[in-house]
Each structure stands twice: as C-alpha cells, then as structure tokens.
Structure 1
Amino acid sequence: MKLSNKQKQFLKGLAHPLKPVVQLGANGLTEGVLAEIDSALNHHELIKVKVPTDDREEKSLIMEAIIRETASEKLQVIGHTLILYRLSEECKIQLPK
C-alpha cells in the first residue's frame, strides 16, 4: 500500500501522542518480538517501536527487518523510535483521500 504525503502527515499527527507499544530488549529482534509487533499492528494499525541501540547501522538494519517482516509502512524515525502503519481488516483509521 502506497500512502500519499497527505496521508503520511495525517498519520504522523495521530502518532505524536502515542507511547511505544513494543521495545526491543537485550536479545534484539527475535521471533517473539516480531510476533508482538505484528499483533500490535493488527490491533492498533498505527504503532511506535523503540529500538534502543547506539550503532546507527545496526539500528537501520533492525528497522528495515521489522518493516519487511511485518509488511508495514514506515512513516517516520525519530531517534530510536520507529513509527509504523499497516491497514487492518477492520480499518480503524480513516485516511484522508
């Protein structure tokens, strides 16, 4: 699903007050963490994931893996926080045209 700039801006505005739903721990990106992110996307559609690592390249690789494995859309990365969106079957968020 390709989002327009207007839709991305709308979703970023909705994501602003949200707290990270999933935070990666010392074990990094595991199957359990991916399952939790997938479940959160199904339930909320719009989530924040915290990736606390100081290595920029490692952080980038982890974020790309999360996006690829969950088939979600990356809206924004702010520091260690990744904002993701994926449309669910119930369509909880009405996007502007």
Structure 2
Amino acid sequence: MLTGKQKRFLRSEAHHLQPIFQVGKGGVNENMVIQIGEALEARELLKVSVLQNCEYDRKEVADELSSATKAELVQVIGNTIVLYKESKENKTIELP
C-alpha cells in the first residue's frame, strides 16, 4: 500500500508520460492484462487511457486493472489511469 507522499511522488513522475494502452469498447480482457503486466515489469509506472466508447466506468476499469496486474492504483484523472508496480528485474524508481 502506498502512502500519500509516495502517491504524490509517483504522480509527479507520471506527469510527463504518455498513455501506452487504451481500453475501448471491449473493456479489459486477459490479453490486455498480460501486456500491461509485462509493461509494468519493464517500466514500473505507466498510464492507461480509457476511451469514450468504453462501456465501463473508468473507476471500474482502474480497479479491475490494478487487481488483475497486482499493481498499485496511483491516480485516476479524467480518462487516464496511472498504475505502479515495483519491478523485480528493472528497478528504477526509488520511492520516498
């Protein structure tokens, strides 16, 4: 579980990132979860964009992604979700 200070730090780190995944009409599927899990292992911090045509609420999508990938939900702002998961191999982010 992340503290408020750690979430603030991660939000500032994620500010300049572009979303690399998009959740559309089909919602979250198993293949997407696998790819996001691999990307989290490589990057530790990433953004996911929820498209307008997504049938699910962005908070539902955020909860589903974070639980399926075992990642921490840092922020949901607008239609963008920020996820963090500490990498086992490529640790680059040092939390305060």
Which TM-score applies when normalising by structure 2?
0.87
Using the TM superposition, give the Cα deviation of residue 53 of structure 1 relative to its aligned residue in structure 2, in angstroms. Answer: 3.7
Letter in 1 for 2:77: I
* C-alpha deviation, 1:22, in angstroms: 0.8
**Corresponding residue of 1:94:** 94
Secondary structure, counterpart of 1:87 in structure 2: coil
Alignment partners' CA distance in 2, 1:7 and 1:26: 32
Query: In the alignment, which residue of structure 2 is the partner of 1:24?
Result: 23
Number of residue pairs aligned between Structure 1 and Structure 2: 95
Moved more, 39-48 or 4-13: 4-13
Deviation larger for 77-86 or 55-64: 55-64
Further displaced range: 24-33 or 54-63: 54-63
Q: Conserved in 1, the CA contact under 8 Å of 2:62 and 2:81?
A: yes
> What does the per-residue CA deviation read over 1:42-82, in whole Å, with 9 as the maximum and x for residues that have no partner?
00000001111467963222221111101111111111100
Q: Distance in 1 between matches of 2:59 and 2:84?
A: 18
Who is 1:44 aligned against?
A: 43
The CA RMSD over aligned residues, in Å, is 1.8
Q: Is the 8 A contact 2:26 2:55 kept in 1?
A: no
Within-5 A mapping of 1:2-13: 2-13=1-12
Distance in 1, matches of 2:52 and 2:11, equals 23
- TM-score for both structures, normalised by structure 1: 0.86
Could you tell me which runs of 5 or more consecutive residues in structure 1 were left unpaired when the two chains were aligned: none
